């Protein structure tokens, strides 16, 4: 059971600056500190896990080859990312188990070397606080996208430092609680994959029509997609700018607009001024769109447009499928998104695995389709939408639960640095 315990801040808690208890960016080791070919740890920014503060799979390099050009640190130092967005994302770690006790890494690290007045773990938890990172962000200098936390700001940052014994208690209890939070996060992290598998199972069952419904005497015809598509409308290649359309300007969709199961009109580019696209290529609500060119995994992605702004047009990599009468577009979208049909698309796509894959219209129209009666198409589509809505609801609750874990973690840190500990 989790209970609240108050650790009363004693008079020994001192308001000090980081520079009073830590060396900020201490100098490099001397050139003769190790033999030139001695092994040392090397830590690129990507090796620091912003969630649990570990250094994952550091590299091994020769001392002389990294000493001059990289940030130096030693066992027990705290690494703190100074550049946006790594800093805001919480990239920080305590250097542990370094080869020969020395490490080198990205020049975008600040190094905090604790004195005997403060535990490295206490400094690490201090810089992990959201309040600390927010204040650090507000004091960044430099251009957009290249802003950094100044070393001088770190030196002058003020905080309340408890005695070493209280620091140990804070670090121990915070560590226990964070392990619980990390365990919860790990369990939550498995859910998206399960939901993806669930949706694929729904689509597979919808396509073979044998699991979602007991359809009695209903009949199913084997046909090709060409039997139920009245026409295919292709887009064109347009010269476009690198940003989405604004102020009603015409735009063209990117392949990513059709990638993730729902149409995303924001994945588009504004056409250069003076371009006059064919009005027949404009996208409308209710359109069934097909990605004829995409990566090996995503070629053949199909979406049904729910809402779209005006003046948004098909690209040369997208097709609009117009079915014949008594074909439910919602069912057809589900059928074309099923694993069975997606596997067929992967087989007929041309191009190398390392480049854009393509599906020709002629091959697309020969795609075999299991066709139920119109009324059953509607029933299947209704059931798919109902089950997908359930998955969406779970995803929404998952997002809130994940956010709550982060809020709880930050609440733990805030209480810890006020002397209020949970255990």
For 320-362, the pLDDT digits (tens) are: 999 999 999 999 999 999 999 999 999 999 987 667 899 999 9
Tally of domains within the chain: 2
| pLDDT band, residue 228 (cuts 50/70/90) | very high
Q: Can you give the pLDDT at residue 421?
A: 60
The C-alpha angle 6, 11, 13, rounded to 5 degrees, equals: 75
* 253 located within any domain: yes
CB neighbourhood size of 332 (10 A): 22
- Same domain (yes/no): 233, 368: yes
* 331 located within any domain: yes
For 29-59, the pLDDT digits (tens) are: 999 999 999 999 999 999 998 877 889 889 9
- Same domain (yes/no): 154, 250: no
Question: Of all residues in the chain, what percent carry a pLDDT higher than 90?
Answer: 63
- Same domain (yes/no): 152, 46: yes
What backbone phi and psi angles, to 5 degrees, belong to 254?
-95, 165
- Same domain (yes/no): 228, 345: yes
* 187 located within any domain: no
CATH code, domain with 335: 3.90.220.20
Q: Can you give the pLDDT at residue 3?
A: 36
* 249 located within any domain: yes
- Same domain (yes/no): 368, 228: yes
Element (H, E) at 77: none
Locate tokens 């027990």: which residue? 76
pLDDT at position 216 over 80:
no
* Number of residues in the chain: 423
For residue 51, the enclosing domain spans 14-161
Q: Return the closest-CA partner of residue 259 out of 303, 220, 225, 218.
A: 303
d(CA 367, CA 369): 6
Cβ atoms of 7 and 415 closer than 8 Å: no
- What predicted TM-score, i.e. pTM, was given to this entire model? 0.66
- Same domain (yes/no): 146, 277: no
* 7 located within any domain: no
- Same domain (yes/no): 54, 125: yes
Q: Can you give the pLDDT at residue 218?
A: 54
- Same domain (yes/no): 131, 238: no
- Same domain (yes/no): 96, 26: yes
Contacts of 304 (CB under 8 A, 6+ apart): 263, 286, 287, 288, 289, 329, 330, 333
* 413 located within any domain: no
Element (H, E) at 200: helix 191-208
- Same domain (yes/no): 141, 59: yes
Cβ atoms of 74 and 130 closer than 8 Å: no
């Amino acid at each position: 059971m989790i209970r609240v315990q108050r650790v009363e801040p004693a008079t020994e808690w001192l308001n000090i600056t980081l520079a009073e208890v830590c060396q900020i960016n201490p100098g490099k080791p001397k050139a003769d500190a190790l033999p030139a070919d001695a092994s040392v740890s090397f830590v690129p920014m990507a090796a620091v896990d912003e969630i649990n503060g570990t250094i994952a799979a550091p590299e091994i390099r020769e001392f002389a080859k990294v000493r001059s050009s990289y940030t130096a640190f030693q066992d027990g130092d705290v690494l703190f990312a100074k550049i946006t967005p790594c800093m805001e994302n919480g990239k920080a770690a305590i250097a542990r188990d370094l080869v020969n006790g020395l490490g080198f890494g990205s020049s975008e690290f600040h190094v905090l070397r604790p004195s005997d007045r403060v535990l490295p773990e206490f400094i690490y938890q201090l810089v992990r606080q959201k309040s600390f990172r927010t204040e650090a962000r507000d004091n960044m200098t430099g251009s957009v996208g290249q802003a950094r936390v100044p070393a001088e700001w770190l030196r002058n940052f003020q905080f309340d430092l408890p005695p070493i014994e209280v620091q140990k208690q804070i670090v121990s209890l915070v560590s226990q609680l964070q392990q619980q939070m990390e365990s919860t996060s790990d369990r939550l992290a498995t859910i998206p994959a399960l939901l993806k598998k669930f949706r694929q199972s729904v689509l597979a069952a919808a396509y073979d029509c044998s699991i979602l419904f007991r359809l009695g005497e209903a009949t199913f015809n084997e046909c090709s997609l060409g039997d139920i598509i009245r026409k295919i409308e292709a887009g064109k290649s347009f010269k476009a700018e690198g940003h989405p359309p604004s102020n009603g300007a015409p735009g063209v969709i990117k392949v990513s607009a059709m990638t993730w199961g729902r149409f995303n009109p924001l994945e588009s580019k504004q056409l250069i001024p003076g371009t006059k696209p064919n009005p027949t290529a404009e996208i409308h609500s209710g359109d069934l769109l097909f990605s004829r060119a995409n990566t090996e995994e995503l070629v053949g992605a199909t979406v049904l447009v729910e809402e779209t702004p005006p003046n948004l047009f098909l690209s040369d990599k997208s097709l609009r499928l117009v079915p014949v009468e008594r074909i439910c577009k919602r069912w057809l979208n589900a059928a074309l998104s099923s694993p069975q049909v997606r596997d067929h698309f992967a087989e007929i796509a041309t191009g190398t695995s390392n480049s854009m894959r393509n599906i020709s219209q002629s091959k697309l129209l020969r795609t075999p389709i299991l066709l139920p009666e119109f009324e059953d198409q509607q029933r299947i589509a209704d059931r798919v939408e109902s089950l997908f809505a359930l998955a969406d609801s779970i995803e929404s609750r998952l997002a809130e639960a994940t956010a709550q874990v982060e809020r709880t973690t930050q609440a733990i840190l805030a209480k810890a640095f006020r002397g209020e500990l949970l255990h």
